[in-house]
Amino acid sequence: MSKPEILLVGPYPEWDLVELEKQYVVHKLYEATDKDAFLSDRAAGIRAVATRGELGASAAMIEKLPNVQIVSVYGVGYDAVDLPACRARGIHVTNTPDVLTNDVADLGIAMMLAQSRGMIGAERWVKDGSWAAKGLYPLKRRVWGRRVGVLGLGRIGFEVAKRLKGFDMDIAYSDVSEKPYAEGMTYIADPVALAERSDFLFVTLAASAATRHIVSRDVITALGPEGMLINISRASNIDEDALLEALENGVLGSAALDVFEGEPKLNPRFLSLDNVLLQPHHASGTIETRKAMGQLVRDNLAAHFANAPLPTPVV
């Protein structure tokens, strides 16, 4: 039997590519200079799309692929996949939940600690000789015992909160409803009220049209000049213009961000701020997790082509 043809939207690690190429003819969209011509030449044969969380699959792309049956996302977030376009054509969509939850939560905590204790600047202080020349590093802010808000108590938010308990923090959360598993945490429905009582605010909710700019100018202002915003979800959850303005004017104390509008070409205003910790969207970026994500992408594709139930369907 001939191998099914799949479209790979962005690069995967070599170990995944090797495995995919054993089962499928893989068309690498990211290598094409003229993407439209590349798609039109191959469109008829393509039966599956393998993409990444931040790359997704647009309505325009899906429209160009008349025989596509499944979009398999390497990532938990599928906000960049046009779900209505997929639903309209009966195209399945799968993602990679659970396998990345703990690593994403770990990076969020690391970002909070690194930023609050000024670890990046502290390393520079050692390496550039400031320690010897100037003496002690400026004092920074404590983490343990302080007030923290978690916006979105889903799988990742819950794992963040679990870790925060280890720092004896006073935890509140906001979500569409109170969660029965939120033991020892205060429920505050309104994100502005949540920000008002928080020293640190984690953004951990799945992005959708409904959550766009949920971290509004008002939320950012409520977090205040001593507050820190930590985003390990999607940039679209935050009003980025309001965030930049607040960071530049001291309306917000600081931010630790793994995701940006237009990434990887983020707004250059971020680069000149000294109250931000910037990360290259790598919260799920461990070898262990990425291998599990790649396996789950392949498991979903294999199940689809075997007419078996999909392990992690979204649609």
User: Left if phi > 0, otherwise alpha if psi is -120 to 50, otherwise beta: which for 307?
Assistant: left
How long, in residues, is the chain?
315
C-alpha separations of 33 from 37, 73, 307 in Å: 9, 23, 35
Tell me how far apart the alpha carbons of residues 227 and 82 are, in angstroms, rounded to a whole number.
Answer: 35
In the list 6, 9, 75, 244, the residue contacting ligand 8YV (rule: CB under 6 A) is: 75
Q: Which of 92, 146, 281, 290 is catalytic?
A: 281
SS3 (DSSP) at 70: strand
Q: How far is the CB of 143 from ligand 8YV (least distance, A)?
A: 25
DSSP label at 43?
Answer: G
Active site (annotated) includes residue 163: no
SS3 (DSSP) at 147: strand
The DSSP H or E segment spanning 75 is: none
Tell me which stretch binds ligand 8YV (CB under 6 A): 51-59, 145-153, 160-168, 179-187: 51-59
Q: Which token pair is 278?
A: 């910037």
Tell whether residue 77 is a contact of ligand 8YV (CB under 6 A): yes
Active site (annotated) includes residue 234: yes
Q: Which is nearer to ligand 8YV, 96 or 116 (CB)?
A: 96
Instruction: Determine contact, residues 83/103, Cβ cutoff 8 Å.
Output: no
In the list 61, 81, 100, 164, the residue contacting ligand 8YV (rule: CB under 6 A) is: 100
Tell whether residue 97 is a contact of ligand 8YV (CB under 6 A): no
Q: Which is nearer to ligand 8YV, 124 or 282 (CB)?
A: 282
Any idea which residue has 């495995």 for tokens?
19
Q: How far is the CB of 35 from ligand 8YV (least distance, A)?
A: 18
The DSSP H or E segment spanning 156 is: helix 155-165
Any idea which residue has 């949540």 for tokens?
194
Q: How far is the CB of 141 from ligand 8YV (least distance, A)?
A: 29
Instruction: Determine contact, residues 57/92, Cβ cutoff 8 Å.
Output: no
Q: Which of 47, 52, 155, 234 is catalytic?
A: 234
SS3 (DSSP) at 172: strand
Tell me which stretch binds ligand 8YV (CB under 6 A): 47-55, 109-117, 124-132, 245-253: 47-55
Q: Which is nearer to ligand 8YV, 218 or 263 (CB)?
A: 263
Q: How far is the CB of 77 from ligand 8YV (least distance, A)?
A: 3
Tell whether residue 74 is a contact of ligand 8YV (CB under 6 A): yes
Tell me which stretch binds ligand 8YV (CB under 6 A): 61-69, 74-82, 223-231, 299-307: 74-82
Tell me which stretch binds ligand 8YV (CB under 6 A): 75-83, 135-143, 249-257, 271-279: 75-83
In the list 101, 115, 279, 284, the residue contacting ligand 8YV (rule: CB under 6 A) is: 284
User: Which distant-in-sequence residues (6+ apart) come within 8 Å of 2 by Cβ?
Assistant: none
Q: How far is the CB of 78 from ligand 8YV (least distance, A)?
A: 8
Tell whether residue 149 is a contact of ligand 8YV (CB under 6 A): no
Tell me how far apart the alpha carbons of residues 62 and 91 are, in angstroms, rounded to a whole number.
Answer: 9
Tell me which stretch binds ligand 8YV (CB under 6 A): 13-21, 70-78, 157-165, 184-192: 70-78
Instruction: Determine contact, residues 298/50, Cβ cutoff 8 Å.
Output: no
Q: Which token pair is 127?
A: 């390496």
Cis-peptide into 313, omega within 30 deg: no
Q: How many residues bind ligand 8YV (CB under 6 A)?
A: 10
Q: Under the rule (CB under 6 A), what is the footprint of ligand 8YV?
A: 52-54, 74-77, 100, 281, 284
Catalytic residue IDs: 234, 263, 281
